[in-house]
Amino acid sequence: MAWKGVHISRPARLSCKDAQLVVDQDGDQVSLPIEDVAWIVLDSMQATLTASLISACMDAGIVIVFSDARHTPSGLALPFHRHHRQSAVAAVQLGLNLPLKKRLWQSIVATKIENQAACLEICGKSAEALRAMTKLVASGDPQNVEARAAREYWSLLFPEFIRSDEGDLRNKMLNYGYAVVRASVARALVASGLLPCIGLFHNSATNAFNLADDLVEPFRPIVDRLVFDLSEGGASSTNDLSLEYRQALAAVLNADTLVADEAVTTLIATEKASQSLVRAMESASPALLCLPRM
């Protein structure tokens, strides 16, 4: 089972030899079994990959995340047709009725708010208000409790914090971590036979990852807690997303969480959540959806 992540932050040449991922940096080589690798983050503009490695990554279901010159994740590569029932699962997904979509989204939003409350408690903050809000989430979240909870959440987690402030280092860290987890969710969806572009709530015609943007929501507080720890709960005097921070955020998929009372890594949680989503869709039962809980 794939469980390792690779973060490339310096000039490197990545190739494939004898079913091994070979990383060559300044004449030094490191090899990893491709079957052990789940994700690769290319965080250097001087990294090169051979076509044989890219092909091997797609065959193995490895997601490759690309970053731009500012070290911001800007794209990802995923394999096609990673499931033996691809057509059957896609047919179920495309045939979902609106009431079921709304109930699945209700479960996702409620779990996200529960995890936000847990994150606040772990960080030594009061979560009473958010705990109460989870009971207000109705099918499809017509009252947009998610947004109301978000306003309360950010004001408590980071006082005087503005989520849209691009100059705040915490936002840069959040966006980096979210991108890594989103890539893992997209990888897991493809491996489960689902179409990432067909969402439950998100439905942008220009977004190839609508479903990933749905399912990533309850995972976000896992990143939030990491950023809280990295920033020591406050604003920074610098807005530089240092290598140390990027390495820590690229490893967020190794963070522990719970799925159905089982302790697993965030990477495994994305796989379990995606697999359970297929079961929930096929059985028309939102109760079968297993989401991460902090």
Residue-wise pLDDT tens digits, 165-217:
888 999 999 999 999 999 999 999 999 999 999 999 999 999 999 999 999 99
The residues facing 31 across adjacent strands are: 22
82 falls in which pLDDT band (50, 70, 90)? low
Task: Read off the pLDDT of residues 119-134 as tens digits, 9 standing for 90 and up.
Answer: 999 999 999 999 999 9
Binned at pLDDT 50, 70 and 90, residue 70 comes out as confident
Q: Report pLDDT for 234.
A: 74
13 - beta bridge partners? 24, 48
pLDDT of residue 1: 72
Lowest mean pLDDT among 42-56, 63-77, 110-124: 63-77
- CA dist 207 and 200 (Å) reads 13
pLDDT score of 251:
95
Look up residue 112 and give its two tokens. Answer: 């996200």
23, 71, 77, 74: which is closest to 246 by C-alpha?
71
Q: Does 77 have pLDDT greater than 70?
A: yes
Phi-psi region of 184 (alpha: psi -120 to 50; beta: other; left: phi over 0): alpha
Of the candidates 175, 221, 215, 177, the one whose C-alpha atom is nearest the C-alpha of residue 199 is 215
Regarding predicted confidence, which is higher, 239 or 283?
Answer: 283
Q: Give me the pLDDT at residue 27, please.
A: 86
Biggest distance spanned by C-alpha atoms of the chain: 58
Over its C-alpha atoms, the chain yields an Rg (Å, rounded) of 19
Contact yes or no for 20/34 (Cβ under 8 A): yes
- 18 pLDDT exceeds 90? yes
Query: CB-based contacts of 95: which residues, under 8 Å, 6+ apart?
Result: none
- pTM for this prediction: 0.92
pLDDT for the residue numbered 243: 93
Residue 117's alpha-carbon distances to 23, 132, 189, 233, 268, in angstroms, are 41, 10, 26, 16, 22
Burial class for 153, CB neighbours closer than 10 Å (0-12, 13-18, 19+): buried
**Which residues, including other chains, have CB under 8 Å from residue 5's CB and lie 6 or more apart?**
37, 38, 39, 40, 41, 250, 251, 253, 254, 267
pLDDT at 80 over 80: no
Pick the residue with more confidence: 28 or 236?
28
Q: How confident is the model at residue 237 (pLDDT cuts 50, 70, 90)?
A: low
Distance between CA atoms of 179 and 171, rounded to whole angstroms? 12
Q: Is 83 a residue whose pLDDT tops 70?
A: no
Whole-number pLDDT of residue 78: 86
